[in-house]
Chain A
């Protein structure tokens, strides 16, 4: 099961150790800390893949995002690829023509076999992978499905018999057509087909479920394979009983009630995927990978490359790790991006295209970042947290609650809950209880307009979400479907918020380098949660946008200056709000800001939290920012929008000393490495093996990946290996009886009994070693095990 990584970073550790050492000013040295990330400027320009080929080869751009400039030709020297999951290749049985399950299964199997046969002859390595199972090696939960995926693959190891003669097949899109060696069918949606072949880009699949709202994340299970399978297949399930069971399991997996153990949860996920496939209404036949390139040329290229298993370079991790070779830090990073910059630049429901996603990855700053290689989420602006139920478990020896009963927690009477429809904060009042509580340390910092983040900024997104996202009348003007969607999970879980206090933390770098931070401590009370790994991730108190910008958008939407999202814009017949590129809107927003500055306007939800004087300062700062920079896209993120055109943008680094993360904060996320299990011995019931591991050898302005036996230290590399051996034990009936982590290796050798305490019998053990939280493309061993 994937987890949120709550490792205290150096910063968090420093935050916990306040003012421990005082060193006089004389003890100076070069500063070992620089806030924000490597490049001091990022230039983004739209271009076609073909147009990017030359500039990338000559390093006049250092990376191309979202496309393959060398798909049809040789790759130049000093241009290096990374690969991420791009799209599923999906078969859909026509429900009107194939009403019988067996007929559907036979038809989709024939098409899958034809694709495999075609690709075996003509496949371009890496572009398409035949894998007839919806959970792929790019998913962190692949280990839990590896035996099922292998079994699905084995079905095609024998000739499939007749080809596609007599089977009407529609193909949608050029990629799908190429897989069958035919031209795309322009009437792909026509009725006279039994099976349709199409590619479903992962971004299209997940886009409607991704939360971009002011730096919130989610849902926590967004990039898990079982969730993708649910999105791909659940709507097509025809059998009523199966569908009911699918929804029941999905509900358990997403309501924090998935099970009492990790094995239970994994079992549910496997069961869900099996049910989704059982009727053959839809089948995944494989996936395509996205190949993106960066310039590794000496010296104008880049190094220290992180990317995302799903989004490749179009991700927060890329802009937080990429480093110019010519600069220890600083320098101008030039990026080309495929596609246009058409989506509105608005932090509530905008930045939905590739260009916008990349820009927002740098300008915005989410509560957490997706772990880049499929390992859950990693801390970003939520520093650390404690979950009440986990603490409770410890008291009772590690079980969720004595006797299996749930133990709820009292919600403080003065905790707040936004009122649906208005967003005004109501006191929860006495006698209310929650299933769980999470206490967060929020890493505040200054906004780009110079204002200081306060608890009002943390609270206001909740008010905004309830104001615009919850209504009895979904046709009402004061309802936005995008806000409703993005905040649905929060609203479902949230039972109260309480700002406990604001800590003062110091990052002591010695001498006069004492960096001081405000750290709001916020408790969030939840309706569901049984210490599951998702619990801390469903309603995080965070905003990367200051309350005054959100309030400005609120008022602009209310007055019809623009809609918050394209969905509402279409319904209301107004343009979508764009805080940067809509001159007419900007003029009206500027007038509003001046009015609010004069009146000291405080939104209703924040009365009692913000005084008129404080509000006046905020509005004045925003007005000054607009007059200086001509836009309203103010955040507390690591980069600030400097200039823009129809096809590009220039971002300047925001090296404000209140920014709590710095150059190198995500260096551990670069260059994902893998482990390989060559041979496994089973001796006395113990599984024993010594994996080979990839190591990162950095030198000069280069790096290379070298492989050595774990613990041998023969390669000369000195990176941290951090191996984690995970295993799943499956009984003969397919039930998951154990999911766990093997004890750490001794002298590089793992030795453990995976079935300790289990009854005698035959089991299948799924086994993999992961390095440095890289869960992508693991080397999984499937072991027949007899106890």
Chain B
């Protein structure tokens, strides 16, 4: 275990507006932490009243609580490529529901009844299914969703149907930037997509400040372009004189990455950055191994560790930046520093015989955030709280989850927690590659996301990108 190097948190937006700072100064002010022990200093100001799992459990609920089941509609991928993400999400929801039900249910009375739906039906069919869940199944709460293609379609419908919703993922900035800019019923737990690229880029800048020649290989659709956009804006700010020396855009369905790999090698970059994911990523890295790519350049990813822990093999290069969607990796925070994670991982493994991924943690946290809000609302209103009362408690809620502190911003209903990434490493205790527990990078989320009130930019830009572009200094040195 390496020792943690904990740096002060970011001061204020005014500091960011300084036009010239050194990179070292920038990182110090931002509060990036590298090491084994960090738990970020939460998100934004409203997290003062942090709640931990089960904090209110011992208290008797106020008023009369019905014993009718609390129906939860859970939609995620149970088939297709994204099932590797979706099934852990469902497992996280079930684990939380089981724990709550074991204590009598929500407010000790209402057992959670989960109705699952396959997100792989396609966006249009998913919209219909949400309507069916509300109208026919009469769900009380909707959760899940993996794909960012789906949250912008489902969010407005959830608002229209007035169904209380916490999306676990579907992390596109677009949801709250533009599709539902003034949400009432919908919330989201996992970090926004822009955090993915920004986090990985900051890890690159901090770890390899000398790199200037950057190659990119990203999937040729919106996700890849989002990653590219955010890595590029960070690079432009923090790596003066850096340049994109190569772009590779493998199309959806590409299985032979040789052309992109050889092109990247020919470009002689200092570092290669990629957001290729899942089975495509496995094919990519194995082919890159064959070309000796990792001996010729540094390497950073947004998602090498961002699928499921067991999804990546031990032949993957060690010591490279292995992103986990800027969200959660099951070995961090370490159990001796953050027992909540230890408890969660043990319970998850006991239930499901595998280790949780970020979707599992997000889903588990979403259910507990809901539980917490219901308990808080009950204290205020007595009896079973109306959705409006629950929403009131969700807004601004701070919650201590397995992955750290989560704060639900009241203005946009987005969950914020400190972003994280790390370095790949093989440990004998695991039959797959994991994250180096001594070199985890955490970044206070407030340092990489646009603050409340930041106007939505025109065009395809994200708030985050626009905010970074307009407020981050260009560092010197």
**Bound: A331/B352 CA distance, A:** 26
Residues from chain B with a CB closer than 8 A to the CB of A299 are 313, 431-432
Q: Is B375's CB within 8 Å of the partner chain A? A: no
Q: Which residues of B contact A699 (CB under 8 A)?
A: 352-354
Residues of A within 8 A of B122 (CB): 10-11, 13-14, 17, 507-509
Q: Is A588 an interface residue (CB 8 A)?
A: no
A753 to B185, CA, bound (A): 47
Known: A327-B282, A655-B255, A667-B79. A29 touches B127 (CB 8 A): no
Q: Taking the complex as formed, is A431 at the interface, i.e. its CB lies under 8 A from any CB of chain B?
A: no
Is B301 interfacial (CB-CB < 8 Å)? no
Are A698 and B87 CB-contacts (below 8 A) given A14-B122, A28-B223, A329-B81? yes
| CB proximity of B325 to chain A, nearest CB, Å | 9
Q: Which of B147, B283, B351 meets A40, CB within 8 Å? A: B283
- Which residues from B are CB-within-8-Å of A510? 123, 147-150, 152-153
Is residue A30 within 8 Å, beta carbon to beta carbon, of the partner chain? yes
Candidates B148, B279, B353, B354; contact of A330 at CB < 8 Å: B279
Known contacts A31-B81, A664-B79; decide if A330 and B125 are in contact (CB<8 Å): no
Closest to B123 in A: A508
Chain A 406-423 interface mask (CB, 8 Å, partner B; 1/0)? 000000000000000000
Residues of the A chain whose Cβ atoms lie less than 8 Å from the Cβ of B460: 24-26
CB of B178 closer than 8 Å to a CB of A: yes
18 contacts between A and B (CB under 8 A): A11-B122, A14-B124, A21-B123, A23-B153, A26-B174, A26-B461, A28-B224, A32-B119, A32-B149, A33-B81, A34-B80, A35-B253, A40-B283, A328-B84, A331-B279, A508-B124, A510-B147, A657-B253
- Enumerate chain B residues within 8 angstroms of A326, measured Cβ to Cβ: 282, 313
Q: Which residues of the partner chain A approach B221 to less than 8 Å between Cβ atoms?
A: 28, 31, 511-513
Q: Which residues of A contact B329 (CB under 8 A)?
A: none
> From B227, which residue of chain A is reached at the shortest CB distance?
A28
Is A27 touching B255 in the complex (CB atoms < 8 A)?
A: no
B193 on interface, CB distance cutoff 8 Å: yes
Measured between alpha carbons, how far is A328 from B86 in the docked complex, in Å? 13
* CB pair A20 B124 closer than 8 Å: yes
Closest CB in chain B relative to A663 CB, distance in Å: 5
CB within 8 Å of B: which A505-531 residues: 507-513
User: What is the chain A residue whose CB lies nearest that of B82?
Assistant: A32
How far is the CB of A254 from the nearest CB of chain B, in Å? 36
Q: Is B368 positioned at the interface, with any CB of A under 8 Å from its CB? A: no
Cβ contact within 8 Å between A700 and B354: yes
Q: From B303, which residue of chain A is reached at the shortest CB distance?
A: A30
Closest residue of chain B to A34 (Cβ to Cβ) is: B81
B254:A31 contact, CB within 8 angstroms: no
Indicate if B21 sits at the interface (CB-CB under 8 A).
Answer: no
Say yes or no for B14: interface residue by CB 8 A criterion: no
Digitize B250-265: 1 where CB-to-A-CB distance is under 8 Å, 0 elsewhere: 0111110000000000
Q: Are A25 and B222 in contact (CB under 8 A)?
A: yes
Are B226 and A30 interface neighbours, CB within 8 A? no
B83 at the interface (CB under 8 A from A): yes
Q: Is the CB of B278 within 8 A of A328?
A: yes
Contact of A664 among B80, B125, B283, B354 (CB under 8 A): B80
Is A701 engaged at the interface, CB distance under 8 Å to the other chain? yes
What interface size band does chain B fall in?
35 or more
Over the window 487-514 of chain A, the binary record of Cβ atoms lying under 8 Å from chain B Cβ atoms (1 yes, 0 no) is 0000000000000000000011111110
- Asked if A653 lies at the interface with its beta carbon under 8 angstroms from chain B, I say yes
Asked whether, in the complex, the Cβ of B283 is within 8 Å of the Cβ of A31, the reply is: no
Residue of B nearest to A702 (CB): B353
Q: Given A34-B253, A509-B122, A653-B255, are A28 and B193 also a contact pair (CB < 8 Å)? A: yes
Identify which of B128, B153, B172 contacts A28 (C-beta below 8 A).
B172
Once the chains bind, are B149 and A34 in contact (CB under 8 Å)?
A: no
Please state if B179 and A27 are interface contacts (CB–CB under 8 Å). yes
| Bound form: Cα–Cα A510–B125 in Å | 12
4 nearest A-B residue pairs (beta carbon)? A510-B149, A28-B222, A655-B253, A29-B148
Q: Contact between B283 and A29 (Cβ–Cβ < 8 Å)?
A: no
In this complex, which of A17, A507, A510 has the most chain B Cβ atoms within 10 angstroms of its Cβ? Answer: A510
CA distance A664 to B85 in the complex (A): 14
Bound state CA distance, A579 and B205, in angstroms?
A: 56
Q: For the complex, give the distance between the alpha carbons of A28 and B152 in Å.
A: 10
The answer, yes or no, to whether B307 is at the interface (CB within 8 Å) is yes
With contacts A32-B80, A510-B150 taken as known, whether A328 is within 8 angstroms of B121 at the C-beta atoms is: no
- Asked if B173 lies at the interface with its beta carbon under 8 angstroms from chain A, I say yes
In the complex, B146 has a CB within 8 A of chain A: yes
Partner of A26, one of B123, B222, B278: B222
Task: Looking at the assembled complex, report how far the CB atom of B230 sits from the nearest CB atom of chain A, in whole angstroms.
Answer: 11
Q: Which of A13, A35, A718 contacts B121 (CB 8 A)?
A: A13
Residue on A nearest B177 in the bound complex, by CB: A26
Q: Which of B123, B173, B283 contacts A327 (CB 8 A)?
A: B283
Q: How far is the CA of A20 from the CA of B123 in the complex (A)?
A: 9
At the interface, yes or no: A609 with Cβ under 8 Å from chain B? Answer: no
Q: Point out which of A38, A655, A668, A702 has the most chain B C-beta atoms below 10 A from its C-beta.
A: A655
Minimum Cβ distance to chain B for residue A738 (Å): 31
Decide yes or no whether A298 CB sits under 8 A from chain B.
yes
Inside 8 A of B147's CB, which chain A residues have their CB? Answer: 29-30, 32, 509-510
User: Is A168 on the interface with B (CB-CB < 8 A)?
Assistant: no
B384 within 8 A of A: no
B80, B170, B179, B280: the one within 8 Å of A33 (CB): B80
Is A716 located at the chain interface by the 8 A CB criterion? yes
A687-725, CB under 8 A of B: which get 1 and which 0? 000000000001111100000000000001010000000
Does B118 touch A at the CB level, under 8 Å? Answer: yes
**Residues on B with beta carbons closer than 8 Å to the beta carbon of A701:** 310
